[in-house]
Structure 1
């Protein structure tokens, strides 16, 4: 009962029928164990479990963009540090931009993936309100992007591949961030990431928002977890701008084409990484194993290329984005 109460505030609306069915299965199982009549309910439980598995697949294979956005923002969804600790053999976090700042909203360090030294970095959200305030809800400051660039230059100097994990609603838009040069810091990263010699794999693990995502999003491969989103602006902001009504965010989410499936169809996404049925927050260990396998496979391919081949691949990848054909031509 305590567990159910703890889970209830984190339940999304479309998850409730599934949880109700799972609770019913658990109640029947508990009643059978407590009963002294020796009633066999194994067949009934088996049927309900099959129905629950079917319902889980039906729900998570027919989600709307707005529902996928809810999953991307789920407070229990694995974060950058969760994935790094799960997939790395060892990892040491490094701090500071060497300019006087150390942004907790963007973390990074040196680690090892399948025995290969790598630099891993990404946005870090909090688990609760207090942690989110400390992490600024994953919205990095100019110091965060300068720290990221320092770590990437370190990786380039020592020939270590770079793995970035994107999970932010956007860069911090506060007055202080503007005073510190937020736009310049992101623009500098965009330019410099194109010239790096080492392999770069960027993975959207949750919410990829605006320039805040792009600041660590230039790479040879762009991967997205199945229920992650990537967008030029949050649906709420888009709805407020276009219709003066943030309540129309679901409509905006549909129009913006923010899901991994949409971006795969547009050719922007290189690899869609599947999540366990029920999404990453329901089975985080399995989600990390799937992501690790995808990263290792892509890294093996990229490491076989020359530095120039990777730079050319990176350049051509982003040159193709936004190209379209006029039907009247």
Structure 2
């Protein structure tokens, strides 16, 4: 079990718990009372810590190495899943995954960024930073779903679109802009869920939906706290202050009307109880799909356009 720096009190209690259990095994003494007391103390300590998380601590949680990624959710949500590959132009981008899945008898097109579960896979998937062909693949799959009248669910989890020279040469900005233009006009229901990091145009490229949700310990912003700190203060030392000022947490995004709802996570984060998190996510998707299917395509498109047009604060002189 891996702990973040602010979870050190919990880590210390787990260490005590392991020692008590080892003593019980060696001495054959009944230590159940002590174990139960420590387990209660762990739960209480976790509740206390997680009730007062700072924006930077939520950013840390969104990046937890054990946090479930897109494919982990898809595999648990779907009875069947067929992954589709390639943008039919350049190549298949491993950072963007998608395909048709069957969930409770409904066929849904699932699309999302995939970071990779270990060092080798993270390198293969470019840490979830998609190239232009990744966004073009995503759009191809969305159009395929529209053709067969199937709803779309996107999982957003990226530190940003890949900023390399070759990505710019192949039209990174155009690919993302094309997705925004096309997604707002899709005739099928579109649900977007930020499951971890939602950074910049990399997130927005698959984030234009009828409903946009955030998991409780995810973040959504035009820039990461580290890069914001690097621009404003020329180093990363002010990343915590930047996270505070960017107002990037799920609660703040919901308050501003940027997202339509916040999906609660199990105590300790999504990585502590995969099955509980998946069950909550599944219930939210099914409920939202039921609402959206009752609305005509024309009305959905109109509402989608109006929703994104209302965002932001401005004054007319």
Give the TM-score band, short-chain normalised: over 0.9
Q: Which residue of 2 aligns with 1:11?
A: 3
Q: Which residue of 2 aligns with 1:176?
A: 166
Q: Which residue of 2 aligns with 1:255?
A: 245
Q: Does residue 1:24 correspond to 2:16, yes or no? A: yes
| 1-structure distance, mates of 2:93, 2:182 | 20
Unaligned stretches of 5+ in structure 1?
1-6
TM-score of the aligned structures, taking structure 2 as reference length:
0.96
Structure 1 residue ranges, 4+ long, deviating more than 6 angstroms after superposition: none
* Structure 1 segment 173-252 matched on structure 2, within 5 A: 173-252=163-242
| 1-structure distance, mates of 2:27, 2:169 | 69
Q: Does residue 1:290 correspond to 2:273, yes or no? A: no
Deviation (angstroms), 1:325? 7.1
| 1-structure distance, mates of 2:36, 2:114 | 40
The partner residue of 1:67 within 57, 65, 79 is: 57
TM-score of the aligned structures, taking structure 1 as reference length:
0.93
Aligned-pair RMSD on alpha carbons? 1.5
The partner residue of 2:254 within 256, 264, 268 is: 264
| 2-structure distance, mates of 1:23, 1:285 | 25
List per-residue Cα deviations over 1:152-181 (Å, max 9, x = no partner).
000111100000000000000000001000
Aligned residues: 317
Unaligned stretches of 5+ in structure 2?
none
| 2-structure distance, mates of 1:287, 1:300 | 20
Deviation (angstroms), 1:109? 0.4
List per-residue Cα deviations over 1:212-261 (Å, max 9, x = no partner).
00000000000111101111001111111112122111110000011101
Deviation (angstroms), 1:29? 2.7
Q: Which residue of 2 aligns with 1:4?
A: none
SS at match of 1:92: strand
